[in-house]
Amino acid sequence: MMKQARTLLSRSLCDQSKSLFQERVKASTLRGFASWSSSSTPGRGSYDAPKPGGRLFAPYSIFKGKAALSVEPVLPSFTEIDSGNLRIDRRGSLMMTFMPAIGERKYDWEKKQKFALSPTEVGSLISMGSKDSSEFFHDPSMKSSNAGQVRKSLSIKPHADGSGYFISLSVNNSILKTNDYFVVPVTKAEFAVMKTAFSFALPHIMGWNRLTGQGNTEAPPPMNVTHLKTDPQLELEWDK
* Residue 54 or 181 having the CB closest to a copy of itself: 54
Q: Does 85 bind a copy of itself (CB under 8 A)?
A: yes
Instruction: Report 107-126 residues binding a copy of itself (CB under 8 A).
Output: 109, 119-124, 126
**Is 145 among the residues that bind a copy of itself (CB under 8 A)?**
no
Closest approach of Cβ 175 to a copy of itself, in Å?
A: 19
Beta-carbon contacts of residue 91 (< 8 Å; ≥ 6 apart): 76, 118, 119, 205, 206, 224, 231, 233
Alpha carbons within 13 A on the beta-carbon side of 85: 11
Q: β-strands 67-74, 77-82: how paired?
A: unpaired
- Smallest distance, a copy of itself to C-beta of residue 84, A: 3
Burial 11-35 (b: 16+ CB within 10 A, else e): eebeebbeebeeeeeeeeeeeeeee
Select from 155-163, 172-180, 193-201 the region that touches a copy of itself (CB under 8 A): 193-201
227 binds a copy of itself (CB under 8 A): yes
Instruction: Count the site residues for a copy of itself by CB under 8 A.
Output: 135
Distance CA 53, CA 72 (A): 18
Q: Which residues contact 116 (CB under 8 A, 6 or more apart)?
A: 74, 93, 94, 95, 96, 138, 233, 234, 236, 237
Q: How far is the CB of 178 from a copy of itself (least distance, A)?
A: 20
**Binding-site member from 105, 106, 142, 180 for a copy of itself (CB under 8 A):** 142
Q: Which residues, numbered 13-72, are part of the site for a copy of itself (CB under 8 A)?
A: 13-15, 17-18, 21-22, 24-25, 28-37, 40-63, 68, 70, 72
DSSP states along 100-130: EB-STT-B-GGG-EEEEE-HHHHHHHHT--T
Does residue 77 bind a copy of itself (CB under 8 A)? yes
Among 67, 90, 169, 182, binds a copy of itself (CB under 8 A): 90
Residue 174 or 196 having the CB closest to a copy of itself? 196
Residue closer to a copy of itself, measured from CB, 85 or 179: 85
Strand partners, 72: 95
Name the helix (H) or strand (E) containing 14: helix 2-27
Binding residues for a copy of itself restricted to 197-226, rule: CB under 8 A: 197, 199-204, 206-226
| Amino acid at site 15 | D
Residue 39 C-beta: closest distance to a copy of itself, Å: 9
CB atoms within 10 A of CB 119: 22
In the complex, minimum distance from the CB of residue 214 to a copy of itself, in angstroms, rounded to a whole number: 5
